[in-house]
């Protein structure tokens, strides 16, 4: 987890054109008992990512994350993204239905003894079917099949409202808050302006509609 300076108590202003959210960091320090879940239905399967196809990865990232303003891998330079995707200590699986991407599971083992659940989620149209629980059980199994001492994840207030509770029920324990401030990807052109309408879009003065 990146170290960041502590904000002062009270309100801190966020500049127009920027967005801010509260990040919750959670961890598990031992392999938990997984919660019961049905297998994936026959029309869905997990497949390894084609690591050479940055556009396909970003399309998957966008399909899952656009409703929640995920943007980190959209603004990342190609060289930096390719370095991550091609690292043998990063495992990326795609939940797929025929030729449609249904979800992402990305596990990052680059730090010795630690696995980060870097990205996890389902695309629109695949939620509410207990697929998330089944995918989480896969994540836990694959993470703890390696010689790790810690499995961790972070989520934020822009994610699904049930995310923190889902992670807690999966065996993670919250251990830290952070505040993340970044340019609004709807104003930089990385996401459409109608993405995540539940999050207000505040334009800097002088920036027209």
User: For residue range 77-102, what is the model confidence (pLDDT) as tens digits?
Assistant: 999 999 999 999 999 999 999 889 99
- Lowest-confidence pick of 6-10, 51-55, 130-134: 6-10
Which residues span the domain enclosing 68?
20-176
Asked, for residue 170, whether it belongs to a domain, the answer is yes
User: How do residues 143-160 score in pLDDT, each as one tens digit?
Assistant: 999 999 999 999 999 999
205 band by pLDDT with thresholds 50, 70 and 90: confident
How far apart CA 12 and CA 175 sit, in angstroms, is 23
DSSP 8-state symbol, 134: H
Asked, for residue 8, whether it belongs to a domain, the answer is no
C-alpha neighbours within 13 Å on the C-beta side of residue 113: 3
Asked, for residue 78, whether it belongs to a domain, the answer is yes
CATH of the domain at 85: 3.40.630.30
Q: Is the pLDDT of residue 15 over 60?
A: yes
Q: Is the pLDDT of residue 183 over 80?
A: yes
| Predicted pLDDT at 6 | 82
Enter the tokens of residue 20.
């801010």
Asked, for residue 2, whether it belongs to a domain, the answer is no
The widest CA-to-CA distance across the chain, in whole angstroms, is 54
**pTM exceeds 0.75 for this model:** yes
Q: Are the C-beta atoms of residues 113 and 149 closer than 8 Å to each other?
A: yes
Q: Which residues contact 47 (CB under 8 A, 6 or more apart)?
A: 93, 94, 96
Q: Is the pLDDT of residue 4 over 80?
A: no
Asked, for residue 6, whether it belongs to a domain, the answer is no
How far apart CA 107 and CA 102 sit, in angstroms, is 17
Asked, for residue 205, whether it belongs to a domain, the answer is no
Alpha helices in the chain, H assignment, sequence order = 54-65, 72-75, 78-85, 131-144, 163-169, 185-188
Residue whose pair of structure tokens reads 């207030």 in the numeric block: 157
How far apart CA 37 and CA 52 sit, in angstroms, is 33
Enter the tokens of residue 149.
């001492």
Asked, for residue 31, whether it belongs to a domain, the answer is yes
Asked, for residue 159, whether it belongs to a domain, the answer is yes
When divided into structural domains, the chain yields a total of 1
């Amino acid at each position: 987890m990146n170290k960041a300076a502590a904000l002062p108590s009270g309100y801190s202003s966020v500049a127009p054109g920027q967005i801010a959210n509260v990040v919750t960091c959670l961890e598990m320090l031992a392999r938990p008992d997984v919660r019961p879940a049905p297998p994936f239905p026959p029309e869905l399967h997990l497949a390894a990512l084609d690591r050479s196809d940055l556009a396909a990865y970003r399309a998957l990232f966008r399909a899952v994350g656009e409703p929640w303003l995920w943007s980190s891998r959209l603004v990342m330079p190609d060289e930096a993204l390719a370095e991550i995707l091609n690292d043998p200590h990063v495992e990326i699986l795609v939940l797929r239905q025929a030729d449609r991407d249904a979800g992402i599971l990305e596990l990052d083992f680059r730090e010795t003894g630690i696995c980060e659940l870097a990205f996890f989620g389902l695309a629109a149209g695949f939620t509410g079917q207990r697929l998330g629980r089944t995918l989480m059980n896969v994540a836990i199994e694959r993470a703890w099949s390696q010689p790790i001492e810690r499995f961790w994840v972070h989520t934020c207030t822009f994610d699904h409202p049930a995310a923190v509770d889902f992670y807690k029920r999966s065996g993670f324990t919250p251990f830290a808050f952070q505040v993340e401030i970044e340019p609004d990807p709807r104003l930089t052109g990385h996401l459409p302006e109608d993405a995540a309408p539940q999050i207000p879009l505040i334009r800097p003065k002088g920036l027209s509609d």
